Structure 1
Amino acid sequence: MSAARYAIYYAPPPESPLWRFGSDVLGYDAATGATRPPLAPEGFSAEEWLRLTAQPRRYGFHATLKAPFRLAEGATEDDLVAAGRSFARKRRAFDLPDLAVTALETFAALTTREPSEPLSALSAACVEAFEPFRAPHSPEELARRRSAALTEAQQANLERWGYPYVFDEFRFHMTLTGSLPEPLVPRAVDGLARLYAEHVGAAASTVNAVTLYVEESPEEGFRIVDRFVFGS
């Protein structure tokens, strides 16, 4: 089986202030594959911030719609791209709801201020539409991914769809840090909120595409393969 993993993510348009902000915070631009000087909140050195963002940097700035998966037997990247383009032709753009920097347990992320039915519907559609391309987890992978912290519904999602947080369990978020020591969480959230206000502010963002990412091998970070623009 190929080591490559694919994912369907929401990623802001690469020319948007939101994309530049997220990529700068993580120190990596998944559109170009280039590293960037980290945009660290006040009170954090560049070196410290690079360490605290190492885990999400590997995945690039995004919100998960279809979690990383290996290709099913017989499926190819070209097949996946064709399916992505077909999927996008049937959808229409909508405004991204207002976002805020929040703490999700021990990491900082951008989340929607209010629940968004269009985002939930888009996530559900992606989970189902791209499922035929997902190779099932091996028994060993499932055992590794199971957690006592998962609810019964989340365990069932993991076994059926390869990821616990789908459908009713979906929560839109764009991760900005790895797991932080508890005393650093409020400082990181406050500092990132100020940076978000400065660099993004009231700039509107649009959900006008879903984006295919690939990780060629565990040693490499995810990068963008293609953006499937809605209605085109």
Structure 2
Amino acid sequence: MNAETSPPNTPAPAHRYAVYYAPSPGTLGWLAGSHWLGRCAAQLQALPQLDIHGVAPADLKRLTAAPRRYGWHGTLKAPFALAPGVSWMDLHQAVQALASGLQSFTLPPMQVERMDDFLALVPMPSHAANAQVQAAAAACVTQLQPLAAPLGSAELARRRAAGLTPRQDELLTLWGYPFVLEEFRFHMSITGDLRQVDTRTADLVLDAAQQFFSDLPALRFNSLAIFAEPAPGADFVLLDHAEMGP
């Protein structure tokens, strides 16, 4: 969607919204990730997953359940509820304005790595474009925060229970999420917690993911994607792409 236009339909108010990096639906970058996860967040339909030798389909489905709910994406502004008095149109216009002030670029080459207890597609380190990724994420976090409702005490407690550093706790209080700014690392999750399966299965999934994504073409970072969680616990839906500058 062009940044000068309005959304074709005004969706019903959602429980939460998020601003992500996501390849455009229909592109190989979108289809590859969506098929790996088993769901297209644009067409709202299940997709067949990879058949990995030695891995039961139920194990792969369970391993990908967490990222499948969120759709194929890299987080820029983590899910948030809108502040009182803020509408979907306010959010849409703010994201459009933000996107139009950012310059599009090509992401660094992406590779599958283990991050703590899950697998993710991450950009090659020490690549010059990583600075642009960090800048785009920081702009989304800081410039869109006025539209977000403050976190409730239950959500703050849930986040803190995971064990945050003092700086992460400060970021959580300021920006609604602990892993932002200097704590941010861009990634596109391809599994949930690997401890759900045995070590052999996790290793087979890692090998398959590395092969599956090795031929992925260069990904263009040319838009900001708005996703919505219609109701608590519901699958996230891709609502729109706001185009960045040339």
Q: CA deviation at 1:40?
A: 4.3
The answer to whether the 8 A contact 2:111-2:214 is kept is: no
Q: CA deviation at 1:188?
A: 1.7
* Alignment-derived partner of residue 157 in structure 1: 171
Name the % identity.
Answer: 39
CA RMSD of aligned residues (A): 1.6
1:206 aligned residue (196, 220, 226): 220
* Alignment-derived partner of residue 43 in structure 1: 54
The answer to whether the 8 A contact 1:157-1:166 is kept is: yes
* Alignment-derived partner of residue 215 in structure 1: 229
Separation of aligned partners in 2, 1:168 and 1:42: 39
Separation of aligned partners in 1, 2:47 and 2:137: 29
Q: Secondary structure at the match of 2:150?
A: coil
The answer to whether the 8 A contact 1:89-1:230 is kept is: yes
* Runs of at least 5 residues in structure 1 that lack an aligned partner in the other structure: none
Separation of aligned partners in 2, 1:61 and 1:144: 24
Q: CA deviation at 1:50?
A: 1.0
* Alignment-derived partner of residue 130 in structure 1: 144
The answer to whether the 8 A contact 1:108-1:188 is kept is: no
Q: Secondary structure at the match of 2:194?
A: coil
Q: CA deviation at 1:43?
A: 2.3
Q: CA deviation at 1:31?
A: 1.3
Alpha-carbon deviations, 1:23-60, whole Å to 9, x = none?
00110111111111112433223222111111111100
Q: CA deviation at 1:149?
A: 3.0
Alignment of 1:1-232 (within 5 A): 4-115=15-126, 116-147=130-161, 149-181=163-195, 183=199, 184-198=201-215, 200=216, 203-231=217-245
Q: 1:74 to 1:40 in 2, by over 3 A?
A: farther
Q: Secondary structure at the match of 1:15?
A: coil
The answer to whether the 8 A contact 2:19-2:77 is kept is: yes
Aligned residue type for 1:52: L
Given the two structures, how large is their TM-score scaled by the length of structure 2?
Answer: 0.88
Q: 1:150 to 1:41 in 2, by over 3 A?
A: farther
Alpha-carbon deviations, 1:5-39, whole Å to 9, x = none?
10000001223222111100110111111111112
Q: How many residues align?
A: 228
Given the two structures, how large is their TM-score scaled by the length of structure 1?
Answer: 0.93
The answer to whether the 8 A contact 2:71-2:236 is kept is: yes
Q: Secondary structure at the match of 1:140?
A: helix
